[in-house]
Amino acid sequence: MVTDEATKTRVGSLIEGARSSSWQSRIAVALVVALLVLLLGQAVREPGQFVSQLIIGITNGAIIALIALGYTLVYGIIELINFAHGDNFMIGSFVGLTVLSGTFLGFQFFGAIGAGAGTFLKIVGVLLALVVAMAVCGLLNVGIERVAYKPLRNSPRLAVLITAIGMSFILQNLGLVWKGPAQVPFPELISDANILPGDAIVFRWKDLFIVGVTVPLLIGLSYFISNTKQGKAMRAVAQDKEAASMVGINVNRTISITFLLGGILAGASGVMYGLFNGITVFNVGFTQGLYAFTAAVLGGIGNLTGAVVGGFLIGIIGSMADQYIGVEWTAIVIFSVLIMVLVFRPRGLLGDRSAVQGGGE
Amino acid sequence: MRKYWLPALLIVVAFIFPIVDEAFETLLIYPVIIVTVYVMLALGLNIVVGFAGLLDLGFVAFYALGAYVVGWLASSQFNQVSFSLWTAAVSLTGEPLEGIHISFWLILIVAGAFTALCGVIIGFPTLRLRGDYLAIVTLGFGEIIPRFFQNGDDLGGFNLTNGTIGIKAVDPPGIQFLPESLDAWKQFGTLDLHPWYYTILMLVLIAIYVNIRLRDSRLGRAWISVREDETAAAAMGINPVTTKLWAYALGAVFGGIAGAFYGSFIASIFPTSFSFNISILVLCMVVLGGMGNIYGVILGAIALQGLNFYLLPKINEWVHAIGDSLGISLLSHADIPKYNFFLFGIILVLMMLMRPEGIIPNRQRAEELHESDAGSGDAMRGVSRA
């Protein structure tokens, strides 16, 4: 009976919500439906192209989702938009590239692993690049938190945001010093060839690689957060820092671990981005970071599932915009999504902490 | 009277600067004009960030809009029509000029009004957001607008912005009714930059005056109270939404006018000149000088642009000299000015860590920034993290 009652009220409130929904949300819903219909039209006209584009969107989305998780983890725990996170991702791609080249600071540790290397060597190289980039970015993120954010933990929110912007510029210029202003090519380690027979639908080895790395990372993260003691501590600190410290949780260490996790994901994502797109550049973190932030906001910032869902959605929106509107408009489309979401539904799709004043606390 | 001697002295120095510059042949007038444009931008951003406490990361949007207004209204961009109004541009053939050509002075007003409107349009839907989200939304707009200008050469077949090629040959300003002897003022040229300098100087002086009057006005006090505690301000009968919108609109006016001046000074407008970096540079000026303090902000603008134009090239020379004498090729080929934003990043971080109130602090602001247990979670205030 009790559950019945509960369902009834929930359904009732849903109907009520639909009735009392503002003109704004109606416009938003109408807009989304119209766009979906248009897309569906395209899908029917040329299904092969549509599905291939969808696959590219999902792979791009996986990369974005991994960055978005870093934003959402940090926001969930200290309510900071870690503006430098995108640049951490860029550093990740540079670290990966350096590992594959085998040379660092003039010392050659091993021969460069290029397109001509054997399959086994390629696998080892990619794994090594991933692991090193993850470690470097994780530690870098922890270091940034220690140096720049920790002293400001009780300062006004915008003071910390300005610091984060400063850190972002510092990292970006480190990248500029490191690899120069031009785009740097990544070795072609993973085949561009289609796995599926025929060329109606394109699903490349590259796409498989991205999915194959992302899924275990997501499972690992989810296990860590929900099953380990440290994960539990993170959730506790996210809910209430003071209470968490009262029950004996080391808040500073928990925050550091959160930054470590975010950095690890950004590092992996950076290497994947480089291997997938074949290039990287010192300012790639700005746009990719904003895309990922959009994804985190779209899913509901502070919400881990939301960040992943948002990441895939933004990836798909981006690839559809590339195909059907024009590559030069993609950034505009995604930034418009960011603004629309914040204006019409600041809680995001799955909702956690509100972006609206006074909410979510 | 003691209150006035320093500003009066500074104004006198500013007025005789071109004469001194010419006498000593230091050739500084061009960079000084650019610096003054940035002073104007910083004064505009100071209203939004310093007075009202709303972090705007997309201020470059207004700068760009102002510049494009000049591009649209004082060039041959729209050559389908031919319309001239009190323009200083002269037709060489005697035929009426192609495109729209309106007097620069009129355009300044149009640009101000247009960007104010844009400020309201951008500000309105975002004002209920919390401070850091508001910052991101303004950043989004700041990214969209230059990209739109870049892609705006084919909007359903209509060429609005001429894309990456940009709008070129923008009309210079001029004062027609002057006698022939004042040639440089009848139509501002590229040889004699004095008219340009005095124009932007007058605009900045007006901006400073408006800033001071705004700060001490009813609206200025409303900004401070909304910044400190929005709920309390609302309870006292201040409408937070209109108060914040005024901040956006007025800040945008200065950005737009600075953009309009810059557009006609440079005479060619490219979408790539309006990057996110400019938003950050101007923010850095405001933060370095002291948020909310007019003199601090001016100092911040002069200091940072001085660094850009003067100190970094000098340091570059020194580093090259050291590299040459020691035989280190890495140093003698270093390109230090390229990394200016590295320095700006460090300035932002260090200022926030050491002295968040800036070099010349606004006293009220300093106290807010040093208050460790902050309240409502609005704008520049801390958030209750309980």
Residue spans per domain, chain A: 61-281
Q: Which of B53, B143, B382 sits opposite A335 (nearest CB)?
A: B143
Is A338 near chain B, with CB under 8 Å? Answer: yes
Cross-chain Cβ contact A331/B377 below 8 Å: no
Work out the mean pLDDT of chain A and round it to a whole number.
Answer: 85
Tokens of B231: 């709920």
Q: What is the pLDDT of residue B383?
A: 40
> What does DSSP say about strands B74-75 and B99-102: parallel, antiparallel, or unpaired?
antiparallel
Alpha-carbon span B170 to B177, nearest angstrom = 21
Question: Which residues on neighbouring strands pair with residue A107, listed in sequence order?
Answer: A104
Alpha-carbon span A236 to B44, nearest angstrom = 43
pLDDT in tens, A105-146: 767 777 777 777 778 888 888 999 999 999 999 999 999 999
Stated pTM of the model? 0.86
Instruction: From chain B, pick out residues whose CB is under 8 angstroms from the CB of A338.
Output: 136-137, 140
pLDDT in tens, A193-206: 887 777 778 888 88
Q: Which of B140, B276, B342 sits opposite A339 (nearest CB)?
A: B140
State which residues of chain B have pLDDT below 50.
373-386
Is the distance from CB of B90 to CB of B176 less than 8 angstroms?
no
**Nearest chain B Cα to A75, which residue?**
B132
SS3 content of chain B, % helix, strand, coil (to 5): 65, 5, 30
> What does DSSP say about strands B82-85 and B99-102: parallel, antiparallel, or unpaired?
parallel
Please name which of A353, A172, A21 lies closest in space to residue B133, comparing C-alpha atoms: A353
Alpha-carbon span A154 to A160, nearest angstrom = 9
Q: What is the pLDDT of residue A18?
A: 52
Q: Which amino acid is at B379?
A: A
Neighbours of B330 (CB within 10 A): 8
pLDDT in tens, A4-49: 555 555 555 545 555 555 676 777 788 888 888 888 888 888 888 8
Is A172 near chain B, with CB under 8 Å? Answer: yes
Q: Which of A157, A159, A170 sits opposite B356 (nearest CB)?
A: A159
**Nearest chain B Cα to A339, which residue?**
B137
Cross-chain Cβ contact B129/A156 below 8 Å: no
Tokens of A130: 């991933």
Please give the angle made by the CA atoms of A201, A206 and A208, to the nearest 5 degrees: 75
Rounded to the nearest angstrom, the minimum Cα separation between B378 and chain A is 7
- Residue B12, CB half-sphere, CA atoms under 13 Å: how many? 6
Rounded to the nearest angstrom, the minimum Cα separation between B275 and chain A is 12
DSSP B46: I
Rounded to the nearest angstrom, the minimum Cα separation between A272 and chain B is 26
Q: Which amino acid is at A275?
A: L
Tokens of A170: 């510092």
Q: What share of chain B has pLDDT > 90, as a percent?
A: 31
Tell me phi and psi for residue B100, to 5 degrees.
Answer: -95, 130
Q: Which of A156, A174, A329 sits opposite B151 (nearest CB)?
A: A329
With H, G, I as helix, E, B as strand and everything else as coil, classify residue B74: strand
Cross-chain Cβ contact A154/B373 below 8 Å: yes
Instruction: From chain A, pick out residues whose CB is under 8 angstroms from the CB of B48.
Output: none
B4 Cβ contact list (under 8 Å, min separation 6): none
DSSP B283: H
Tell me phi and psi for residue B37, to 5 degrees.
Answer: -60, -40
Q: Which amino acid is at A95?
A: V
Conformational region of residue B292, where left means phi above 0, alpha means psi within -120 to 50, and beta covers everything else: left
pLDDT by position in tens, chain A (length 361)? 444 555 555 555 545 555 555 676 777 788 888 888 888 888 888 888 888 889 999 999 999 999 999 999 999 888 888 999 999 999 999 999 999 887 777 677 777 777 777 788 888 889 999 999 999 999 999 999 999 999 988 887 778 888 999 999 999 999 998 888 889 998 888 878 887 777 778 888 888 999 999 999 999 999 999 899 999 999 899 888 889 999 999 999 999 999 999 999 999 999 999 999 999 999 899 999 999 999 998 888 888 889 999 999 999 999 999 888 888 899 999 999 888 888 888 888 887 655 554 433 3
Question: What is each CA distance from A17 to A12, A25, A28, B129, B191, in whole angstroms?
Answer: 8, 11, 15, 22, 67
